[in-house]
Amino acid sequence: MMDIQFQSFIPIKKEWDIVAARQQGRDMSKQIGFGSVDQARIATAISELARNIYLYAEQGKICFEILDDMEHKGIKIIAKDDGPGIPDVGKVMEDGYTTSGGLGAGLPGIKRLMDYFDIVSEEGKGTEVTVQKWLR
């Protein structure tokens, strides 16, 4: 997996770390200039990503990066863990599929909340989810 220097990251170990990650994401998106609706979208997506780490992998981290390519700005968030991995990535992207008794809207929901979504998972090695949101 690519090794990029991130501007900041929040380790996820306890349930309250989810709040810390969310707050960091909210602060950064505010700084980039996102409106309140997009801020809520980004914070919710981070909340889902961090909760997945907490629930399934027990620990991992959420990395943040500000994107700036002359034409437009955005935020990139990467959720990384060394957990059990996902055996069937296609299945978890289906609406309503759940292993925890939840709503099963997590990963497909994140995809709808953000502009770019990518998931790489290897069984027994871990999962890495990358999402991006562009400022319009």
Which residues of the chain form contacts with other proteins (CB under 8 A)?
A: 15-16, 18-19, 22, 36-37, 39-41, 43-44, 47-48, 51, 95, 102-103, 105-106, 108-109, 112-113
Length of the chain: 136
Least distance between other proteins and beta carbon 26 (Å): 8
State how far the Cα of 72 lies from the Cα of 61, in Å rounded to an integer: 26
State how far the Cα of 31 lies from the Cα of 58, in Å rounded to an integer: 30
Least distance between other proteins and beta carbon 104 (Å): 8
Q: Which amino acid is at 82?
A: D
**Residue closer to other proteins (CB basis): 78 or 114:** 114
Residue the block writes with tokens 């034409």:
71
Least distance between other proteins and beta carbon 2 (Å): 27
Structure tokens at 136: 């319009």
Least distance between other proteins and beta carbon 33 (Å): 16
**Residue closer to other proteins (CB basis): 68 or 95:** 95
**Residue closer to other proteins (CB basis): 40 or 120:** 40
Residue/partner pairs of 101-108 with CB below 8 Å, 24 or more apart: 106/48, 106/51, 106/52, 107/48, 107/52
